[in-house]
Structures are given as C-alpha cells and as structure tokens.
Amino acid sequence: MSETTTVTDYMETPFTNELLKQMRALDTYDAHAAKTPAETLDPYIMTKERKREIPIVGDPDEITMARVAAYYNALATSIEQRCGLMAVPMIKLTHEGFGRALISVGKLIVLDKTLRDVHRFGFPTFEKMNDQAETLISGALKMIESYTEVAKA
C-alpha cells in the first residue's frame, strides 16, 4: 500500500462494495449490522500471523465456506455488471476444503479456480484481494470478448 492509499480507499472499489453486499446478504441475524465495512470484510484478510494460528490441515467450517461462496458470488456479479451477460458461480468443495470454483457466462467457463486449504482462505491485504479480483475479472472479460458467441449461447 502506498503512503497515500488507505484501507478506506480499498473499501471504495466496485469489487469490495459488491463483496460487502454479498457478506451482508448472508448475515440473516444482523451480526454485522453495527460493523464498519472494514470490520465486516476483515475475515478475508489472512495475514501471516493469522495463518500461523490456523492448523495446516483442517476442515473448513460453514462460515468459512459461506465466505468463499460470497467471494465468488461477488466476482460473478462484478463480471455480469461489466459485460451485461448473466454470470453464474458454481463451487464444489469437499469436507476437507478442496475443490473447484467455476464462473460461467452462457456456455462459456470464464473462471476456473482450483481451491485448496479453504479453511485458510484469504488474502494478505485488502490491496492484494482487490488486485486478484481485478485480475480474475479482467481475464473473464477478455474470455467473453474472445468467445462472445459462446457466452451469449
């Protein structure tokens, strides 16, 4: 993060706003109602210190799996907003935290991500989270541009 960039700046990005919406949609008991956006999205930040506290081998809990689903839902929604075509996320995880996340647009798979160690899912900083999301979204949009007929099918 540069000296002029703050955590608040990363809370203002379209992806982070969408991820925040997804997290709040999962919050059926209003547990996050009084939290700031940074506090709500804090579980996505997995610093080295936090990773050390989590065992290397472990099964993800329901909250972690919901957080992973919210992340890929936010990616799909961001792709859909930018291209105007419906993007659908599909996630399949084993109870051990291994699996795959796909996002399809029409008959086109625009994102295919292998998931490992989901119980430790996260990003070192908000900046890295936004950078990776933007990379995945840009890649998906290029794929849609290259194969528009399949995406519209």
**Residue 32: what pLDDT?**
77
Say if CB 110 and CB 151 are below 8 A apart.
yes
- Domains along the chain with CATH numbers: 7-151 (1.10.3100.20)
Q: pLDDT digits over 81-126, tens only? A: 999 999 999 999 998 889 999 999 999 999 999 999 999 999 999 9
- For the entire predicted model, the pTM comes to 0.90
**Residue 10: what pLDDT?**
65
**What single string gives the DSSP state of each residue in 118-141?**
GGG--BSSHHHHHHHHHHHHHHHH
| pLDDT above 90 as % of the chain | 69
The residue with greater pLDDT, 3 or 70, is 70
Q: How far is CA 130 from CA 10, 90, 124, 127, 135, in A?
A: 7, 21, 11, 5, 9
Residues 6+ positions from 76 with CB-CB distance below 8 Å: 87, 88, 89, 103
Single-letter residue type at 7: V
